[in-house]
Amino acid sequence: MAKGSGNAAPAPASASAARGFDMAAHVRRINAQDKAATVVLTLIVGFVLLILAAIVVYVLASGAGKLFDLGFLTGKPQQFKEGGGIGPQLFNSFYLLVLTLLISVPISLGAAIFLAEYAPDNRATAIAKTLIETLSSLPSIVVGLFGFLFFVLYLGWGFSIIAGAVALTMFNVPILVRVIQQALENVPRTQRDAALAMGLTRWETTIHVLLPVAMPAIVTGIVLSAGRVFGEAAALIFTAGQSAPMLDFTNFDLSSPACPWNVFRPAETLAVHIWKINSEGVVPDLEAVSNGTAAVLLVCILAFNLLARLVGKLLERRMTSE
């Protein structure tokens, strides 16, 4: 902006007019420019907030009818007739989330502790870091295809919850590693030094001193990542599959496809359900079902977001006040 601003306007008579530069006009101009820029920026932010509000309101409003319909939330999905529910999908989504977190949290914790506390400053560490970063920017469909190739076909797990959970783990680990590593590195150095100077190992230092301090940030990160796992679909269509056998909660035969806890049964989730019914188009009340499912999905994500904030704040308060 400053370049070219000097001799642009033909200056009226003033003290600096001799040099071909009208200071007063220049100041007026840059001030007007500044005001205009602020107005434009404000409009942009308003626009973004409007989009956000529109999305949330639209999804919730168009799915509102189904959102509180117990028959829809627990019912059986239908293919060629109206009134299908999303009972199995809802359960599958949560079960898959829990399994994914059970696998990905310990692995991420270990990897993050290694990177933050042990990692020697050498080539191997640099390569490992690059690989994790690579994983974080690979498209989730590629991760899903790999899951299909390796877990579903090569290891012979078939379309199954466990294959889906492992694919989602690959998707989730890089996010978690970054959050946990950051949280550990944000703990003041003095805490680490004090524990090490007492002859404690890095392991004891990390587990008993650093992790408790870093816990609020870690928990917030885990819950936020849970929201993303919950809504992921591309990594699942070829791993956890696109069919949802009706579940029988009295069945505890772990090899039966109707047993909810059987990890080797195929399991369509809410997000996959939305995609599948829209791409197949054989459900007559397609719009109502997919809007309802989207609303349920969004409510869950909103809940995860609120929960993350709440839990983080609560933990923080408990730790500083006790």
Partner 1 sequence: MAKHVPKRRVELVGKGVTGACIALVALLVVTLVAMVAQRGISTFAVDGINLFDFLTGTTWNPHQDDANGMPTVGALPMIVGSFSVTILSTLVALPIAVGSAIFVVEVAPGFGRRVFQPLIELLVGIPSVVYGLIGLTVIVAWTRDVGGMLGQNITGYGIFSSSIVLAVMILPTVTSLSIDALAAVPNEYREGSYALGCTRWQTVWNVVLRSALPSLMTAVILGMTRAFGEALAVQMVIGNAAQIPSSLFTPASTLTSVLTMGMGNEAMGTVYNDVLWSLALLLMAMSLVFILIIHLIGRKGARKHG
Partner 2 sequence: MIETRDLTVSYGGVEALHATSLEFQAGQVTALIGPSGCGKSTFLRCLNLMNREIPGCCVGGSILYHGRDVNTAKENLFELRKSIGMVFQQPTPFRKSIRENILFAPKRHGLVAGREQEDALVEESLRAGALWDEVKDKLDKSACALSGGQQQRLCIARTLAMRPDVVLFDEPCSALDPISTYTIEETIRAIAERGICAIIVTHNMEQAARVSDRTAFFYLGDMVETGDTKQIFSAPRDARLADYLTGRFG
Per-position x/- string for 213-252, each x denoting binding to partner 2 as judged by CB under 8 A, each - no binding: x---------------------------------------
Alpha-carbon gap, residue 118 to 116, rounded angstroms: 6
Give the DSSP per-residue string, 80-146.
SSS----HHHHHHHHHHHHHHHHHHHHHHHHHHHIIIII--SSHHHHHHHHHHHHHHHS-HHHHHHH
Residue from 14, 38, 79, 186 in contact with partner 1 (CB under 8 A): 38
Closest CA to 186 of 157, 153, 218, 154: 218
Q: Which of 21, 58, 94, 264 binds partner 1 (CB under 8 A)?
A: 58
Among 196, 258, 263, 315, binds partner 2 (CB under 8 A): 196
HSE-CB of 209 using CA atoms within 13 angstroms? 21
User: Does 198 interact with partner 2 (rule: CB under 8 A)?
Assistant: yes
CB of 192 to partner 1, least distance (A): 14
182 binds, among partner 1, partner 2, none (CB under 5 to 8 A by kind): none
Report the nearest approach of partner 2 to the CB of residue 128 (Å): 17
18 in contact with partner 2 (CB under 8 A): no
Asked if residue 85 lies in contact with residue 75, where contact means CB atoms within 8 angstroms, the answer is yes
Terminal-to-terminal C-alpha distance of the chain: 54
Closer CB to partner 2, 119 or 258, in the complex = 119
Alpha-carbon distance of 232 to 238, in angstroms, equals: 12
**Residue 128 binds which of partner 2, partner 1, none (CB < 5-8 A, kind-dependent):** partner 1
Residue 109: name its binding partner from partner 2, partner 1, none (Cβ under 5 to 8 Å by kind): partner 1
Interaction between residue 224 and partner 1 (CB under 8 A): yes
CA dist 166 and 149 (Å) reads: 13
